[in-house]
Amino acid sequence: MPEITLIEGIRQAMDEELARDERVFIVGEDVGRRGGVFRATQGLYEKYGPERVIDSPLAELSIVGVGIGAALYGMRPICEIQFADFIHPAFNQIVNEAAKMCYRSNGEWTAPMVIRAPYGGGIGGGLYHSQSVEAFFAHVPGLKVVVPSNPYDAKGLLKAAVRDPNPVLYLEPKKGYRLIRGAVPEDEEVLVPIGKARVSREGRDLSLFAYGMMHHYSLQAAQQVAAEGIEVEVVDLRTLNPLDRETVLGSVRKTGKALIVYEDNLTGGYGAEIAALLAEQAFTDLDAPVRRLAGPDVPAVPYSRPLQDWFMPNAEKIAAAIRELDAY
């Protein structure tokens, strides 16, 4: 199988869904002739035209609002938010409209739409181009939240999201766009079910839960400590809402220890939900306190490269946390 990058997997998914279903269209800032600020939609405007790859005004509220209206009338919009940092003007549309549409109408109306948003730090983007927003939205019933960590899942999860009858927030770890490569088959359709985690590395000593770019670093850390005799089971959550509780609990019941890694601020981050689940349903299986490794509680990722490195979890920090937890 040929290897492609994460962003190529995303582009292939959109290309295939545009070709498969004439109801699918893309709307967002600079997604047309320019192909998006990260070139995720490169070539799609030329292939499908301006009525299906639509350049929007600089108005995230309107991008999502247009998507909701189109979805209610049978279309399948893919709304691109240029950076997750800019998604907040659309918060009301996502939380109070898209996520509640099916519930408020007793199932008569649904909003089958995808909201794509590059998230996370590590690219020198500073305060307004590095934020992790998943915890805000994973809290919302009616909204699915997925985060791919490799090209295969990036393609398969996005295709599944486009076909889902409910709104899906699809968060893309932008640092991994061209850094992460992986094999994706060319001669078969790639679909990854929403709501299923994946054990990406088997282990016996502790369970490590991560998603997006942090899953990539977690695998590197697990490889480091394996040389020291510590066997880490790495679980790629892939879907934050709905969470695959069965896989999470099953892993901890096997290993007895849990480390949760995410790059958002520690307090109130998504890892707290995993920790609560383990405390409530796997307490007697634990041989050590649940450990979180996350970003510090400062307002945002700094511009300064040394301070950015201080903020961001990486393979070395994860390996150090693994050693501490293993020794408990």
Q: Are 252 and 282 in contact (CB under 8 A)?
A: yes
- φ/ψ (deg, to 5) at 44: -75, -35
Q: Is there a catalytic annotation at residue 129?
A: yes
CA dihedral angle for residue 85, residue 89, residue 95, residue 100, rounded to 10 degrees:
-140
Instruction: Give how far Cα 326 sits from Cα of 121, 153, 193, Å.
Output: 28, 30, 32
Task: Say which DSSP state 89 is in.
Answer: G
Location of structure tokens 């909201």: 115
Selecting among 129, 139, 215, 216, the annotated active-site residue is 129
The CA distance from 128 to 136, in Å, is 16
Which tokens sit at 94? 């996502």
Identify the helix (H) or strand (E) that includes residue 240.
strand 239-241
CA 100 vs CA 92, 169, 191, 231: distances in Å:
11, 14, 26, 43
Q: How far is CA 6 from the centre of its chain?
A: 12
Distances (CA, A) of 169 to 45, 80, 95, 203, 303: 23, 10, 11, 31, 27
Cβ neighbourhood burial of 208 (10 Å; 0-12, 13-18, 19+): buried
Three-state DSSP class for residue 210: strand
CA distance 232 to 210: 12
* DSSP assigned state of 97: I
What sign for the dihedral angle of Cα 153, 130, 325, 243?
negative
Question: Which residues are part of the catalytic machinery?
Answer: 129
